[in-house]
Structure 1
Amino acid sequence: MTRLALLTAASLAAVVASGPASAAERIKFDFWYGLTGPLGEVVQKHCELFNQSQDKYEAVCTGQGGYDKAEQNTIAAYRAKQQPTVVQIYDAGTVNFMLSGAVVPAPEFAAEHGLAIDWKAYFPAIADYYATSKGEMWSFPYNSSTAVMYWNKDLLAKVGKTEAPKTWEEFGADLVALKAAGVACPFATDFDTWPILEQFSAIHDLPVATRDNGYAGLDAELVFNKTKFADLVKDISAWVKDGEAVIMTQQTGKTKTQGFADGSCAFMLNSIADHSTIGKTAAPGLNWAPAMLPVYEGFQRHNSVIGGASLWVMKGKSAEEYEAAAAFLKYVTAPETGERYIAENTGYIPVTTNGFELLTKEGFYAEPAHAGREIAIASLNASEVGPLTHGIRLGNFTAIRTTIRSELEAAFTGKKDPQVALDDAVAAGNDILRRYEQTFRGVALP
């Protein structure tokens, strides 16, 4: 049984090929992606632009209906020998694909197909997320983000504030003042572990798990219930109880992004990728901006970590398909035809210094629609990347995130004491890690 067969599999998604009339003359290859909705449309358009840019290759691009499904469908397809040549896999799937034995490492693929990739140009926080212990990136970063704090300038002006809070203590005081000033929603929150736990831990240089957050081995154990993160969960739980924070999810009828964009809420923690969504859906005259996430007093700020996805090359395809895929990867990762396109059409950030410098030179960040997005770059580069700030590499991390999310919900809604909820999340998460470790017994992370 292959390593990949050990991973959870789902039904193989059908691939429907389409293309221009001259497509029969082209060398085709399959590219599967996980983004959906407007972001999925951006990816599909990127494929079309590549196909229109030359007449030798055709990317047959198929959305899989979500990041989870893209990973599951690719696993199932590989087992059936019907895998795509290239697939977009989100951050949480990195360790699964590194251990799968089913991928061609990016440096190897680039060398074999003449791709002149400047690996050192990638921002360290991005490069390290997808890198092996030897520092080699195994995939091509495509759409990257990090978390920021969005704030409503007009609502903060009601309490005499002209700048976003820099510490959690200041943030809490602002919530009290906002509520006293009649603001019904000082802080919109949900239970997403990415901005609340993962980003918080990175910028405070705190472990989510032992073994350098899993980078040093599959025997890592979750420990976030014993760090300063426990105080944040207690604080948010208290803010919700006191009406200074409001839970907003699809289940409550309005997401936190919607609550912020319509002007109801003063603060929200979310991805910089939401910058574009807020800009397009904001209430008329909304005066808002992104800022770096707060830190607790006594802590030095460290770099935040990334979210998003990267492009992986699968084993078992023909030389012609790899030739076509190489041309595609060159196009969609280049600053001029890749990073610029993604930044202009989404809220995602450029992934290299070359891309960032190109956009800065062209005045991208000076445009009102993009104002403040450079905050994300500053956050990712707030410090040198260290053992606790290069990311999280835990087996079956998607399931662990789901478990933690459930316990955060229990804490924030008052169903559990915050510390009990965190202890339960760690216990359940460690059970998931031990099962994953057992599945890959004897297999070392690259």
Structure 2
Amino acid sequence: MFRKTALATGLLLALGGTGAQAQQRQGFTFWYGLTGQLSEAVQSVCKRFNESQAQYSVTCTSQGDYARALQNTIAAFRANEQPTVVQVYDVGTADLMLAEVYRPARELMASQGHQVNWNNYLPPIAAYYATSKGEMLSFPFNSSTAVMYWNRAAGQKAGIDQPPATWEQVADAARKMKSAGQACPIALDFDSWAMFEQFAAIHDLPIATRANGYGGLDAEYVFNQGLMKQHFNNLLGWYKEGLIQIRTAQSGKDVIASFAAGDCAMTFGSIASHTTIRRTAAQGLDWTPVMLPIYEGSKRINSRVGGASLWTLKGRPEGEYKAAAAFFAFLATPDSEEYWSTITGYIPVTATGQSRLEQSGFYNKPENAGREVAMQSLLLTEPTENSRGLRLGNMTQFRAAYANEMQAAFAGQKTMDQALAALQAQGNQLLRRFEQTYRGKQLP
């Protein structure tokens, strides 16, 4: 009996406190939608919080991917077993806003005695998770933006000294690379975020009416016109010319793996992939992220934030909200933001966090080379109605429809014009279905 008690006491001490101390801690639960190395990073952040003080403790549990985290949370709510905090991806924001199952960020922090400088959150990031009046309802967490990844050596072999800044230059560079023996100048996939959503943002183009949905649930998709329509026809033309290869996980290597292996010289994706490329790059790969290209004659606007934010859910004991508020305050400290950016490829979400990275020489370290491009792109201009974000319902289903229509076009089953028209029609059906689901409600 004594031996068991001694072992138990030793275990509690190893975990950071005696039984009495552990019981005094107010705990809460945090569900998130990341796996692999990023899940390990979240667990590391949770451990840091638990070790930073003795009043509160957080139990952090991966639910798989973003969609599953949201689905599991909905199911848990029905059973009255919802977590205190849940990570919801960017395009799920409208769903959470209308579900009325959350405690607004400002109300939560004020009720727990925390004074927050809400203006400290970087405008392009805050805007995505804010109401039409600019009030943040959740806390930005893992944030990123899209960049183009460029293989310097492949460019130099083709006689190109500088990464292309325009799509016209991208096409020219791809032709020169192909002539120089590069089998795959450009790797492309069927993810709408970098090539569709971010393209519209930096060109200041509307994806939908009503300020991309911020103005109401009666928004309609209007992307099938002008430069957007031209761009996707260009992509298909370059594919037929042999300048683009489709690289997805289903085909063996996705765009990031294809770039890191040196198979493809250009691709597009999240700055969060910077760490993955650095860790998996072929020996001697000379590469860098650069801003997404724009078309000649276009005025570049800030790129859009991606990632997810943290929502506090209703229906939990009051003590858990005190603990959750302390957790949010902890995450917003410059120390925490620097740590998070260091162990992941994500960017800081506050001005003080960004200042800490600049002052500490973060961007000058070899392992972080080029990561400043994401902040330059994101903070290039004040967000416009077209670049601040999307407040459109059923976006998960829309992204799936995008992938299906693009696949049909690149497989030669449809013309690009037919695919875009079908996508817009399906998108509007999804918006009307979403509007019907929340009939009588208004976006905040």
Normalising by structure 1, report the TM-score.
0.94
- Give how far 1:118 is off: 1.7
Q: Structure 1 residue 160: deviation in Å?
A: 1.5
Please name the residue that 1:361 is paired with.
Answer: 359
| Larger gyration radius, structure 1 or structure 2 | 2
Corresponding residue of 1:262: 261
- In structure 2, what is the equivalent of residue 200 of structure 1? 199
Partner of 1:436: 434
What is residue 4 of structure 1 aligned with on the other side?
A: none
What residue number does 1:115 align with? 114
Structure 1 residue 152: deviation in Å?
0.2
Cα offset for 1:333? 2.2
Structure 1 residue 24: Cα displacement: 3.3
1:302 and 1:383 in contact (8 A); partners too = yes
CA distance in structure 1 between the aligned counterparts of 2:267 and 2:300, rounded to whole angstroms: 19
**1:25-424 to 2 correspondence within 5 Å?**
25-337=24-336, 339-424=337-422
Secondary structure of residue in 2 paired with 1:117: coil
- Per mean C-alpha deviation after superposition, the further-off stretch among 196-205 and 407-416 is 407-416
Task: Name which of structure 1's ranges 106-115 and 96-105 shifts more when overlaid on structure 2.
Answer: 106-115
| Larger deviation, residues 403-412 vs 58-67 | 403-412
State the distance in 2 between where 1:37 and 1:428 align: 33
C-alpha distance in 2 between matches for 1:175 and 1:419: 24
Runs of 4 or more consecutive aligned structure 1 residues displaced over 4 Å after TM superposition = 19-22
What secondary structure does 1:389 align onto?
Answer: coil
**1:104-152 per-position Cα deviation (integer Å, ceiling 9, x unaligned):** 0101111111222221111111010001011100001111000000000
Deviation at 1:200, TM superposition (A): 0.1
SS at match of 1:76: helix
CA distance in 2, matches of 1:133, 1:151: 37
2:332–2:350 CA contact under 8 A, matched in 1: no
How far the C-alpha of 1:25 sits from its partner, in A, is 3.4
CA distance in 2, matches of 1:228, 1:97: 32
Task: Output the CA distance in 2 between the equivalents of 1:319 and 1:438.
Answer: 34
Give 3-state SS (helix, strand or coil) of 1:311's partner: strand
TM-score scaled to structure 2, two decimals? 0.94
2:174–2:243: 8 Å Cα contact kept in structure 1? Answer: yes
Report deviation, 1:377. Answer: 0.6
User: C-alpha distance in 1, partners of 2:117/2:341?
Assistant: 19
Q: Is the 8 A contact 1:261 1:283 kept in 2?
A: yes
**Counterpart secondary structure, 1:59:** strand
| Whole-angstrom distance in 2 between the partners of 1:194 and 1:186 | 21
2-structure distance, mates of 1:117, 1:261: 41
Q: What's 2:12 paired with?
A: none
Contact 1:159 1:181 in 2 (8 A): yes
For residues 370 and 116 of structure 1, the distance between their equivalents in structure 2, rounded to whole angstroms, comes to: 33
CA distance in 2, matches of 1:67, 1:106: 21
For the residues of structure 1 that align with 2:305 and 2:407, how far apart are their CA atoms?
Answer: 23
Question: 1:227 & 1:61 partners in 2: Cα distance?
Answer: 46
Structure 2, gaps ≥5 residues long: 1-14
Preserved CA contact (<8 Å) 1:240 1:413: no
Per-residue deviation, residues 148-196 of structure 1 (Å, max 9, x unmatched): 0000000000121111111111111111111111101100110110001
Cα offset for 1:265? Answer: 1.1
Indicate if the aligned counterparts of 1:44 and 1:61 stay in contact, CA closer than 8 A: yes
Q: 31-40 or 47-56, which moves further after superposition? A: 47-56
Kindly provide the CA deviation profile for residues 26-75 of structure 1, in whole angstroms up to 9, marking residues without a partner as x.
21111111111110110011111111112221101111011001111111
CA RMSD of aligned residues (A): 1.1
Query: What is the distance in 2 between the residues matched to 1:35 and 1:313?
Result: 18
Q: Which moved more, 1:29-38 or 1:234-243?
A: 234-243
Q: Which residue of 1 aligns with 2:9?
A: none
Question: Where does structure 1 lack aligned partners over 5 or more consecutive residues?
Answer: 1-18
Compute the displacement of 1:318 (Å): 1.2
What SS does structure 2 have at the residue aligned with 1:251? helix
CA contact (8 A) 2:187 2:258 kept: yes
Query: Could you say which residue in structure 1 is the equivalent of 2:4?
Result: none
Distance 2:267 2:120 in 1: 31
